[in-house]
């Protein structure tokens, strides 16, 4: 049997969000239609130990309302775990905060985006080399995705490959190793989750304006599901 997927939840949303749509781990469970035994939820911000790489099939690092540049103890501890698990070839997927934390942990630079934040449904563009990546073979040249972030990966780690960008964000998707990649966008979001986040931070009128006539993007959800399906039983890692 496949070992469980670790969903590493990094803090909690504001109550206005969680009361309406739940917390980060709920969104991944729903997006992947996971059942008991297929996943485990880890909360380093609550002092929980990060998982033994030999006990899981892979890990997703969630988004957060925190900032990587705050260098919270739980965040730095997770960054150290990322460095170790990448050397041990554990499949990793970072999302939003998880994307920035992976880039920071592996030698990149993270900070406020000088172009400003990105919110709502945005247009992204893949780079040509992305089509050669086994997990991204169906990635179209242009696609839409839900985004909600102020900070960005300003400089990717040495040797990392950037596979997608947007008008304001040059590092929308980064491949660090054959097993580790991360995305700034939210493949786990639905329209309701995006609206709840915007409503919490900007108010109802702004949220309604940004969400007007916005349809659910298709490719990001398929990408997330493909990542889960790619996690096969593996021999014990070195």
> What is the value of pTM for the model shown?
0.95
Give the closest residue to 57 by CA, choosing from 212, 238, 237, 221.
237
**Catalytic residue chosen out of the listed positions 25, 96, 99, 171:** 96
Q: Measure the CA–CA gap between 165 and 173, rounded to whole angstroms.
A: 7
174 beta partners: 162, 182
Residue corresponding to tokens 């007007």: 212
- For residues 222 and 182, what is the distance between their CA atoms, to the nearest angstrom? 15
In this prediction, residue 15 carries a pLDDT of: 97
pLDDT at 235: 43
Instruction: Determine the average pLDDT of the residues in 18-24.
Output: 98
CB atoms within 10 A of CB 61: 29
Q: Which band of pLDDT confidence, cut at 50, 70 and 90, is reported for residue 137?
A: confident
The pLDDT value recorded for residue 187 is 98
What's the rounded Cα separation, in Å, for the pair 225 and 214?
Answer: 22
236 has a pLDDT exceeding 70: no
**Annotated catalytic residue: which of 11, 118, 169, 188?**
188
**What is the distance of C-alpha 57 from the center of its chain?**
17
Say if CB 82 and CB 58 are below 8 A apart: no
Tell me the CA distances in angstroms from 229 to 3, 32, 42, one per residue in order.
12, 10, 21
Tell me what the mean pLDDT of segment 94-113 comes to.
Answer: 98
Average pLDDT estimate for 85-110 = 98
- Residue 237: the pLDDT is 45
Annotated catalytic residue: which of 25, 99, 149, 186?
186
- CA separation for the pair 12, 23 (Å, rounded): 6
Using only C-alpha atoms, the chain has a radius of gyration, in whole angstroms, of: 17
Query: What CATH number belongs to 5-229?
Result: 3.40.50.880
Residue with more model confidence, 77 or 2 = 77
Residue at token pair 């892979």 = 58
Distance CA 77, CA 75 (A): 5
Lowest mean per-residue pLDDT among 47-61, 178-192, 202-216: 202-216
- Tell me what the mean pLDDT of segment 135-153 comes to: 95
Q: What is the DSSP letter of 80?
A: H
Is residue 76 annotated as part of the catalytic site, yes or no? no
**What does the alpha-carbon distance between residue 174 and residue 100 come to, in Å, rounded to a whole number?**
10
The model's pLDDT over 37-89, given as tens digits with 9 standing for 90+, comes to 999 999 999 999 999 999 999 999 999 999 999 999 999 999 999 999 999 99
Q: Does the annotation mark 216 as catalytic? A: no
Mean pLDDT of 136-159: 95
**pLDDT value of residue 62:** 98
CA distance 219 to 185: 12
Mean pLDDT of the chain: 95
Angle, vertex CA 230, rays to CA 226 and CA 234, nearest 5: 165
171 assigned to active site: no
Q: For position 138, what pLDDT does the model report?
A: 87
Mean per-residue pLDDT for 155-159? 97
């Amino acid at each position: 049997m496949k070992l469980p997927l670790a969903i590493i939840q990094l803090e909690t949303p504001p109550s206005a969000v969680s009361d309406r749509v739940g917390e980060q781990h709920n969104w991944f469970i729903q997006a992947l239609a996971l059942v008991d035994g297929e996943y485990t939820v880890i909360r380093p911000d609550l002092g929980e130990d990060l998982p033994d790489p030999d006990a899981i099939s892979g890990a997703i690092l969630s988004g957060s309302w925190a900032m990587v540049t705050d260098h919270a103890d739980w965040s730095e501890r997770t960054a150290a775990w990322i460095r170790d698990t990448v050397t041990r070839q554990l499949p990793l997927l970072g999302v939003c905060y998880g994307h920035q934390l992976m880039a920071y942990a592996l030698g990149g630079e993270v900070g406020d985006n000088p172009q400003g934040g990105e919110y709502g449904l945005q247009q992204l563009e893949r780079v040509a080399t992305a089509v050669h990546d086994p997990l991204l073979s169906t990635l179209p040249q242009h696609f839409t995705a839900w985004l909600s972030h102020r900070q960005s990966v300003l400089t990717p780690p040495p040797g990392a490959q950037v596979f997608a960008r947007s008008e304001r964000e040059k590092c929308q998707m980064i491949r660090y190793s054959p097993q580790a990649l991360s995305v700034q966008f939210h493949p786990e979001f639905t329209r309701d989750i995006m609206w709840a986040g915007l409503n919490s931070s900007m108010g109802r009128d702004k949220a309604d304006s940004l969400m007007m006539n916005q349809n659910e993007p298709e490719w990001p959800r398929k990408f997330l599901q493909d990542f889960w399906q790619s996690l096969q039983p593996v021999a014990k890692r070195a």
